[in-house]
Every structure is written in structure tokens, then in C-alpha cells.
A and B are shown apart, each in its own frame.
Chain A
Amino acid sequence: MPLRDWPIKQKLTAILLLVSSSVLLLTAAAFVTYEVLAIRRTTLKNLSTLGRVIAANSTASLAFANEADATEILSALRAEPHVVAAGLYDKNGRLFARYPASLPGDALPAIPGRDGYRFEDSYVIGLEPVAETGNPRLGTLYLKSDMQVVSRALRLSAAIGAGVMAISLLAAYFLAAVLQGRISQPILALAETAAAVSARQDYSVRAPKLGEDELGTLTDAFNLMLGRIEDQNRELRRYATELEQRVTERTHELQERNEALRRNAAELLAANTELDAFAYSVSHDLRAPLRSIDGFSQVLLEDYGAQLDESGRDSLQRVRAASQRMATLIDDLLKLARVTRSEMRTELVDLSKIARDIATELHRSTPERQVDVTIAQGLEARGDVRLLRVALENLLRNSWKYTAKQPRPRIEFATVEGNGERVFMVRDNGAGFDMQYADKLFGVFQRLHSADEFEGTGVGLATVRRIITRHGGRIWAEGAVDRGATFYFTL
């Protein structure tokens, strides 16, 4: 496992151990080095002291070339077991005496070499001049000592160092193990809290705060954040609940409204079906008696006309006229019903063209009339072409009819602007009407003129209004008696 993935406790312990062991290692190295250097210096010093003592004692035996004496003096070196070899050279550099006495000749250098004490190979070598104070040199003392002192000291100090280090490391380890908790514990607590939060989605838990240091600040910040999230969550849940409740309420309302609409639609459908059946029945059954009335009146006139006086024949003619007017009324009513019932198909309708066609038809049907018809170009609207044709036909036919007594009849179809919307307009200079009765204009069977003045059933404008209303538009009229009428409508 790479270091970065270690648990923080082990990481901290490892770091602490690493730091303390490097410090200890350096310290121990310094200690051992110092020890070794000190021992070596002491060793040299001891050997030189010994050398000087031996040399001072050897002056006489050298001066008198007393070999036995010299050997005797050297044998005193037995007291110093580290000295493995020694030799006395005379002033000519010739070996004079040796120690131990059994030492082979070649164990000592042939010539003494440079004076002084030094380490050579794994021995300490000392060369001490032998002379009486203030007198010429008599010879040289050679001493050779092993390094057992040094190596023992080295071993000892190394052992001490190692021991101290081991104890120190052990202590460091325990200290680290205890002290790393100061840092790792708050972090572990944070980590545990975070894990708990993410595992249970429970934002009510809080990380324990273990101190006022940066980790304490971090814990505070973390807890504050948890608190905020908890608050926000609560808020969100509240909103969600409210929203859900509102949706439920609205859905319920909508369901109720839908139900009401469905009922209305069903009722409307039933009413429409009834109206349909009614209209169908009227269309077939109401006309038949009229046909009989008219027919047999005519039969009477044809077969018995001669036997009737003028008044009798006039009566029969009136019966016929009435039945025919009744038939027209029925037809107009059926047309009105059809306008209400028929299915609407919306498309772009060229109203100008329809108006021109109607005007052409009116001119052709009553060629004796000279009416000045003005139709604006390019008037278009979205709507049902058949219904709009019926509406325009009723309006233009009305104008055509009510301008009959006008010497210079004029009819105009155009648009005007009213309250920012386009308003269609059919205007004439005909008989007009009294504005006081304007609201009656569009009622079924409502007429503002008597039948002998102007013919009509009073259904036409009701039909027009029905059509405009079905297109979502409005219709109204302005006029004055003998000053013409203007019909406005929007689509």
C-alpha cells in the first residue's frame, strides 16, 4: 500500500518515528565518533607517556649498551597487555633489545623510522627518542600496541548508542502513538461523521470538537455546513410537501372541473343531438301541412275560382301567401339551427372575393336595381368559409334590401381600426334604424320594419350574430332612420 493510502494514524506515527529515528541516528553517530576520537587520543597519550617513561629508564642501558638491562626494562611492559611488541634501537638504528624477548627479529622494523605516535594499520605505533636531558640522542624506543581499547570502546559506545536509540525509539513510538491522536482523532471524527452523513443521509449528526486549533475550526465549519444543509433540507422538504399538496389540490380541482366539463359536454352533445333531431323533424314534418294548405287552396282557386267572388279568391290567395311565408320562416330557422350545429373548419378566407361574388349574384337577380357596391381589396380572415359566406350574404342582402327606396343606393364593405383591432364593416345609405332599438336587431324574429315596408323573417341578423359569435368575434350596429345602417364585426 502506498504511503498516501495509509490510515492517517499510521502515517502520523511513521512520520514521527522517522523523524525521531533520524535525529537519534545522527546523535548516536556523533556520540560514537566522539567516543572513538577521544579513545584514540587517550590511547596515543597513554602510549606516549609509557614510551617516555620506558625511554627515560632505558638511557643508562643504552648508554652502557647493557642489553640484558634493556630487555629487563622492556619486560616491564608486561603490565600493559595491549603493548604487543617493543624494541630499543641504538643511535645507529640497530635493534638493541626487544619485547617480548621471544619476538622474532622480523616482527620489528629494521630501522626505527620517524619519531612520534601514530596509528598504523590496526596498531598504534610509537617511536620515542631515548636521550638524557640536554645530551645527544642515544637511540630510539619502538612501541607497538594493539587497538583493543579503541575497538572495545567503539563497541561499547555503539552498544550504548544502539541501546539508547532502541529505548528512545520505543519511547518515541509510544509517545507518537499517544500524541498522533491529538491530530488524527479530530480528523477521524470528521471522516466518520462525513461517512455517517453520506451513508444515512442524516444531516442531524455533528462531528465532536476536540480542541480550539485549526482542526477545531474545521470541525466547526463542517458542523455549521451540516446545520445549513439540514436547514435547507428541511426547507426543501417543506416546499416539496407544500408543492405536493398544492398539486394534489389542483389535480383534484382539475378532475372536478374535467368532470364538470365532461358532463357539460355530454349535456351539450345531448342537447345538440336533440336539436338535430328536432330540426330534422321540423324540416320534414312542418312543411308538409303547409304544402297541403297551399296546394288545396290553389286547387280551390283553380277548380272553383269561378264560383267565388273577388273577396273569396283574395282570401284564398292570403292563405297561400301565409303558408308560403311560414315555409320561408321554417327554412330560415333551419338555416339558423344549421349555423349553430355545423362543424367549423378554420382556414384563411378571402372575404373580399366572397363579397364580390355575392354582389354579382345580387346584381344578376335584380338587374333593375342600380346599386353602387364598393368592396375593399384583400380583406382576409381565418374562419369557416361556408359560415362566413352565409354571414356576409345576410349582411349584403340586408343592405341591398333596405336601400331599395333610396334614389342613389350605396353599399360598402371595408375595414376600420377600432381599439387596435381590425373591424369589418358593411355600410349602406338605406332605410337605417332607430338606435333605440339597436339591441333588438340581432334577436330571432325581431324586426324593425313591417312586412309591407320590407319583407323579411327576422332571422337573418340572428344568424349573422350566431356565426360571428361562433368565430369568437363581436357584432354591433350603428344607424339612424333614413340615414343608413353600418354593421361592424370582428373575427
Chain B
Amino acid sequence: MNSGKILLVEDNPDDVALTMRALKSHNITNDVVVSKDGVQALEYLLGANGSAGVAELPAVVLLDLKLPRVDGLEVLRRIRADERTRLLPVVILTSSDEERDVINGYSLGANSYVRKPVDFVEFTEAARQLGLYWLLMNRAAPLPRA
């Protein structure tokens, strides 16, 4: 298993719990760091008020779109705008499959777009596949540190 972390950007605690459970049920034991809104996520990745961001970037960011304060698309835009996180894998994991969300997500450089299924069995399966793919199969770009 990849030792890289997963950054889950999700404001709904139910979704956080269910996602953690889904990942764990498939033995994806990597650390899951949770940010409850866009500001937290950006602070974690890029730092804030002079403090540097996290020393080791996560293997993948699972990003919800509807978030308090700074929304998911804005988070994605800033991740892509920053030299350090420009190539960081970001998967949009959200409730909506509104066409404009999909188009905007990919336009801003999302690596994938997954709609959360209501059926928890399906949701668990989606989480398993995401974990397997992004943590095991995907070869991420070497991430530069400033």
C-alpha cells in the first residue's frame, strides 16, 4: 500500500464518516486527513499567514464542490495556480452531476469526476475503486517542494 495520505475535503460529517468507513472496509488504511471547508484545505496544502503548507503532499485530494467559505472549484483553481500543487491529483467527489460542474471541474484541471451514489453499497464500491486506482495504480508526478 502506498503510504501517501488522502486529503478528504468534505463539510458533511455524515459523508466523512461514510467515506472513511467505505475506505476502511476495503483495507485502505492510509491516513485520511479531513478538511471541513475550502479554507482549511488550502491552509493544509499551501499554508497560511506565513506558515508553510504540509511538508508531504497527499497522494490524492478527494474534493467536494459545495463547501462553506471557499467552494471546491475555487480550491481546485488555487491548487492548480500554485507551483507546488500544480500537478497534485485531485478527484472531484460530489453529489451533483450538473453538466457545468463537470465541465468547470475538468476545465480547472481535475483529474477525475466522481458522483457520490446514494446507494451505500455502490458508494463503498466507488470508494474502493478510487482508493485502489489513485493509491496503487496511479503513478503521480514527482511533487516539487519549495
Contacts and interface: CB of A to CB of B under 8 A. Distances in A.
B96 A284 contact: yes
Contacts of B18: 291-292, 295-296, 299
A168 interface: no
Contacts of A294: 118-120
A148 to B, nearest CB: 138
Majority-rule SS of A interface residues: helix
B106 interface: no
A282 to B, nearest CB: 9
B66 A291 contact: no
Interface in B1-16: 12, 14-15
A324 interface: yes
A1 B7 CA distance: 111
Interface string A276-291: 0001100111011011
Interface string B72-90: 0000000000000000000
Contact of B14 (A279, A284, A295, A297): A295
Contact of A291 (B14, B65, B97): B14
Nearest to B118: A327
Contact of B15 (A288, A323, A324, A326): A288
Contact of B118 (A279, A284, A323): A323
Interface string B96-118: 11110000000000000000111
Given A283-B97, A288-B95, A324 B14 contact: no
Contacts of B15: 288, 291-292
A294 B14 CA distance: 11
B123 interface: yes
A284 B65 CA distance: 9
A287 B118 contact: yes
A299 B14 CA distance: 12
Contacts of A338: 99
Q: How large is the interface on A (under 10, 10 to 19, 20 to 34, 35 or more residues)?
A: 20 to 34
Nearest to B99: A338
A284 B95 contact: yes
Interface residues of chain B: helix, strand, loop or mixed (majority):
loop
Nearest to A323: B118
B118 A280 contact: no
A290 B65 CA distance: 18
Contacts of B94: 284
B137 interface: no
Contact of A287 (B65, B95, B120, B121): B95
B118 to A, nearest CB: 4
Contacts of A279: 98
A292 to B, nearest CB: 4
B145 interface: no
A298 interface: yes
A284 B115 CA distance: 10
Contacts of A291: 14-15, 18, 95, 116-118, 120, 123
B26 interface: no
Interface string A316-330: 000010011011000
A285 B120 contact: no
Most buried by A among B15, B94, B96, B121: B96
Contacts of B96: 280, 283-284, 287
A296 B21 CA distance: 10
A283 B118 contact: no
Given A284-B66, A288-B12, A323-B118, A295 B98 contact: no
Interface string A330-366: 0000000010000000000000000000000000000
Interface of B: 12, 14-15, 18, 21, 65-66, 94-99, 116-121, 123
Interface of A: 279-280, 283-285, 287-288, 290-292, 294-299, 320, 323-324, 326-327, 338
Given A279-B98, A320-B120, A338-B99, 14 more contacts: A280-B98, A283-B98, A284-B95, A288-B95, A294-B118, A294-B119, A295-B120, A296-B18, A297-B120, A299-B18, A323-B118, A324-B118, A324-B119, A327-B118
